[in-house]
Amino acid sequence: MYNDTKIFGDGVISEGKYNRIKVMGNSTTNGNIECEEMVIMGDAEINGSITAKKVKIMGDSRFHNKININILTTLGDCSLDEDSIIGLTKIKGDLKAKKDLEVREDLNITGEVRVQGRLKGNNIKVLGELSVVKALTFDNINILGGLETDGNCEGNNFYSKGGLKVKGLLSADKIEIIPKSRCIIEEIGGSEIIIRKSRWIDFGYGSLTSKVIEGDNITLQDTECEVVRGHNITILEGCSIGKVEYTGKITIDKDSKVVEEVCLKN
């Protein structure tokens, strides 16, 4: 069993292996750290790499080197300067990753996360705000707050009842979007794509704008798109579509506008 260390004022944590580290003042580290648990209630500058089972941040912290953390909880501010790998992650404050971030278990965001590189996640739930400069990849993602990315957004299951701004391609096996305000997605591709109002009373509904929507089974409502391609396509009310190309069945509501229909059945 390794020793515990506590810093209540200003102090330095030397390189080594620890059981539990607790910072209630201002601290810096000299070298690489391995520990079971780290709790930061003050300010911490982590200059070396860190490998830990649990890290909880209630103050301000900056990690200048690579990190490998099993469980990270942030109620304060956290900055990651290098590529980082984290397991279970709960962000209730602010987290800024200057490079790539990989979250191998659940990522729950009720605060704000900004990733300047790529974000790779397993199960992602966003009640706050998530912004990614490069690509976002996931298994399942649930957006109830806001998502903004300059790159592609790819995974298996995508559900959103929040605000969206995707400048690249949104690609997933199943995509279901209930837009809040005006959502903008450059291109959308998937097996099943549903964009429509909530089936429950919802006063915050918006609309979605895209250049291309392509999938096997597509249902659209309050959607503006230049080209829609698919097998079975259902256009509900409130849509403005430039061109629809289909190979199966098509249904168009009288309160929607489709400029051109092209049937591509053999």
**Per-residue pLDDT tens for 91-145?**
999 999 999 999 999 999 999 999 999 999 999 999 999 999 999 999 999 999 9
Mean pLDDT on 10-21 = 90
Structure confidence by residue, pLDDT tens digits, 133-152: 999 999 999 999 999 999 99
Mean pLDDT on 76-104 = 95
CA distance 36 to 46: 16
pLDDT in the model for residue 2: 79
pLDDT in the model for residue 26: 86
Structure confidence by residue, pLDDT tens digits, 183-234: 999 999 999 999 998 776 666 678 999 999 999 999 999 999 999 999 999 9
pLDDT in the model for residue 216: 97
pTM score of the predicted model: 0.93
Higher pLDDT, 38 or 266: 38
CA atoms within 13 A on the CB side of 215: 24
Quick check: 50 pLDDT over 90? yes
Closest listed residue to residue 34, CA positions, set 57, 2, 58: 2
pLDDT in the model for residue 24: 87
In angstroms, what CA-CA distances link 257 with 143, 176, 210, 229, 252? 29, 22, 15, 16, 8
CA atoms within 13 A on the CB side of 184: 6
Quick check: 1 pLDDT over 70? no
Token reading at 244: 């629809």
pLDDT in the model for residue 175: 98
CA distance 153 to 187: 10
Map out the domains of the chain as residue ranges.
Answer: 1-134, 167-266
Which H helix or E strand runs over 95? strand 94-97
